[in-house]
Chain A
Amino acid sequence: MYLTKISISKEKLKEYITLIIFFLFGVILFVASSRQPGFGQSNQSPGIFPAVVAVIMILTSGFMLIQNIIKHLNKNNDIKGNGVGNMIEEKSHGWELPLTLIIIIVYVLLIGNINFFIATFLFLTTLMLFLKAGNIKKILLLSLLVVLLFKIVFEVIFKVFLP
């Protein structure tokens, strides 16, 4: 009990979770492939290729998972791994990334609902302010310049339609 609690570092746990996700994805892909029309009857079934991919995925992730577990059981020296240092580093400014991601998601969701250039201007201003890129005047000017540049390059020169 004691060993399992302290011997799995955060890094190792993440590695296991990623491999389990790949393994499960492979299983789901195989099941979904087997439900494609003609699977098991015709070599032209749309399920053939994804099923092959799923099998490779299951075997590779399964093999890696077993290999990692065996290595872990043999060594059992993960307590002082790199994970500790990373955890401290991430914790020190760990809030920046989720908030950045929220700003990006809101920007993406705004596109298609409001004018692209207005959304981009708002996004650039907000994210630059959040990341402390400079004073408000500089940020507003920069955002405006970038939006203008986008308009000239993409819409005027290359005739790219923007939402």
Chain B
Amino acid sequence: MEWGEIYLKAIIFVVSSPQLLFLIVIGVGAGIVVGALPGLSATMATALLTSLTFGWDIYPAIVLIISTWVGAVYGGNKSSILINIPGTPAALAAAFDGYPMFKLGEASYGMGVATIGSFIGGLFGAIVLAVGAPLVAKIALKFGPPEYFLLVVWGLTAIGSISGKSIAKGFLTACLGLAVSTVGLDIMYGTGRFTFGYVQLKGGIHFVPVLIGAFGLAEALIQIEGRRKISIERKVDVSTLRDYFLAFFKQISLTLRCSIIGSIIGAIPGIGGEVASIVAYDHAKHSVKNPSRPFGEGAYEGVLAPQTANNAAVGGAIIPLLTLGIPGDAVTAIILGVLFIHGIRPGPLFFSQGKSFFAIIVVVLILTHFAMLWLGLIGNRMFASIIKVPIPILMPIVVALSVVGSFAIQNRVFDVYMMLMFGIIGYFLKKEDYPIGPLVLGIILGNMADGELRRTLALYENEIFRAFLTRPITIILIILILLTILSKSNFPKKFIVTISSKFRK
């Protein structure tokens, strides 16, 4: 049977089933709420749904889980924009310009642009999944420990260079995050590292309480401190659907480029939406010549780019899951489990046996993004009404939400203490103009960087040059890292000025 015929049958199968269509809408709606609430993650929601859908048929079960996942990935931007707490780690970059947009009275506009970006990115990801799955999977298969390590370094360099005026300050907070990530039981030696005898520290410091504290609590403190000034600045948003689409059409090329970035990075196991959105933001910052405002001060391009890549990564993440049987992150690992429960074995042989199932997943992913567009645009006004809540009421609620969010992730009061500690650290760092994004990404990617560096050293017997300079992908990644650093540094400009002045003489 040809692919065209398979897809046609898949479309008819899904569209003619009211149950599946209903589950798509319910899943996306629930996902948006989960994504928007700090502390509730896509992983938690899909894990809960796995137990709920255990006795269901495979199609309703997988449809509900995928639509909830897409909704949650998208919904993270709501809290990023409205309260500066990324609902999901992948929504981190959306806060850089989204929250300044909120402060300028453009919350609804920011969320509208994010919705369009997520929709286009998600559709692109689904198309990439349909068309390029085998090819991208082959590239991802070539990634070894040195490539993974450099990919993490690139992610950290990118975030270090994008957030804040000084790349050095970004490096320092990234290093702080990496240092925090090393706390806990060492996987290779099995010994406690920097635990100081505390049993709670043996499990490490989870990134969610840090994220909530450094973004949420720190912001609440800053808002309370300067509340008189901010309350004057906040205005009511009057943006319309037309404005969102105009913004998208102005940056159609950026949207497509970020879709490509998201799909490719999403397809690399273990990397996912977090890095994809950061890299896309970095790309936007360096490629958009005349942004609506300077990046970091409320440029809508700074919301559009990461959100596009974020949702494009969903389609990309399904590629290694189905073609190689490798889950890229916790959610795809849960989906793998669901597939196993229902007797489906993803892997190299999947394409020869499960073409119809694959086509249904692609169709569901596309329809899910249409549902997300619809619900997202309807919900924006409702979410944006948060702007009317005065700071003396909103901020205590944000603090209480931060406490719930940090506790809920592992049911530990210790995590609440961590949230408080990093909230205070985050407050001081923000006051001194240090970016918070690299701190959080450092904690998220630290364990991976640690493990891959040590694996590389073991594999190549300490020959660092052989490990990093004899493989084509590592060379490309090193060039990308250097370009990222140089693009932010003043050194190339000074060098060109010096050289040109010497030539003039």
Q: Which residues of A contact B (CB under 8 A)?
A: 14-15, 18, 22, 25-26, 29, 32, 36-38, 43-46, 48-50, 52-54, 56-57, 60-61, 63-64, 90, 93, 96-97, 100-101, 104-105, 107-108, 111-112, 120, 123-124, 127-128, 131-134, 142, 146, 150, 153-154, 158-163
Contacts and interface: CB of A to CB of B under 8 A. Distances in A.
B48 A46 contact: no
Contacts of A154: 404, 408
Given A46-B189, A60-B175, A97-B221, A131 B392 contact: yes
Which of A14, A36, A134 has most B Cβ within 10 Å? A36
Contact of A131 (B171, B221, B224, B457): B224
A161 B193 CA distance: 29
B453 A60 contact: no
Interface stretch (B412-420, B479-487, B496-504): B412-420
Which of B37, B225, B458 has most A Cβ within 10 Å? B225
B396 A123 contact: yes
List the 9 closest pairs (A to B, CB-CB), nearest first. Answer: A131-B392, A133-B392, A43-B457, A112-B413, A46-B186, A49-B450, A127-B396, A57-B175, A50-B182
13 contacts: A22-B172, A36-B193, A48-B457, A54-B179, A61-B172, A63-B168, A64-B169, A97-B225, A107-B399, A133-B392, A133-B396, A134-B393, A158-B40
Interface string B205-222: 000000000000100010
B424 to A, nearest CB: 7
B49 to A, nearest CB: 11
Interface residue SS majority, chain B: helix
B407 A163 contact: yes
B432 A14 contact: yes
A146 B396 CA distance: 10
Interface of B: 34, 37, 39-40, 44, 48, 168-169, 171-172, 175-176, 178-179, 182, 186, 188-189, 191, 193-194, 217, 221, 224-225, 227-228, 390-393, 395-397, 399-400, 403-404, 407-408, 411, 413, 416-417, 420, 424, 428-429, 431-432, 434, 449-450, 453-454, 457-458, 462
Nearest to B196: A32
Contacts of A63: 168
A100 B400 CA distance: 13
B403 A111 contact: yes
Nearest to A63: B168
Nearest to A112: B413
Contacts of B176: 22, 25, 57
B355 to A, nearest CB: 37
A86 to B, nearest CB: 10
B411 A100 contact: no
A97 B217 CA distance: 12
A133 B227 CA distance: 12
A22 B172 CA distance: 7
Nearest to A105: B420
Given A43-B457, A48-B453, A63-B168, 7 more contacts: A97-B221, A97-B224, A123-B396, A142-B393, A146-B400, A158-B44, A159-B48
B401 to A, nearest CB: 8
Contacts of A142: 393
Contacts of B393: 128, 133-134, 142
A77 to B, nearest CB: 20
Contacts of A54: 175, 179
A70 to B, nearest CB: 14
B461 to A, nearest CB: 8
Contacts of A57: 172, 175-176, 179
B37 A153 contact: yes
B11 to A, nearest CB: 33
Given A57-B175, A61-B172, A124-B397, A133 B450 contact: no
A29 B181 CA distance: 13
B179 A37 contact: no
Contact of B221 (A93, A101, A120, A160): A101
Nearest to B397: A146
A75 B105 CA distance: 39
Contacts of A15: 432
A108 B168 contact: no
A49 B454 contact: yes
A44 B400 contact: no
A97 B225 CA distance: 6
B184 to A, nearest CB: 10
A57 to B, nearest CB: 4
Nearest to A54: B179
Nearest to B194: A32
Contacts of A131: 224, 227, 391-392, 395-396
A108 B193 contact: no
A162 B396 CA distance: 18
Contacts of B193: 36, 46, 50
B400 A120 contact: yes
A104 to B, nearest CB: 6
B403 to A, nearest CB: 7
Contacts of B39: 160
A132 B392 contact: yes
A111 B407 contact: yes
A150 B396 CA distance: 13
Given A36-B193, A97-B224, A158-B48, A60 B399 contact: no
Nearest to A90: B225
B447 to A, nearest CB: 9
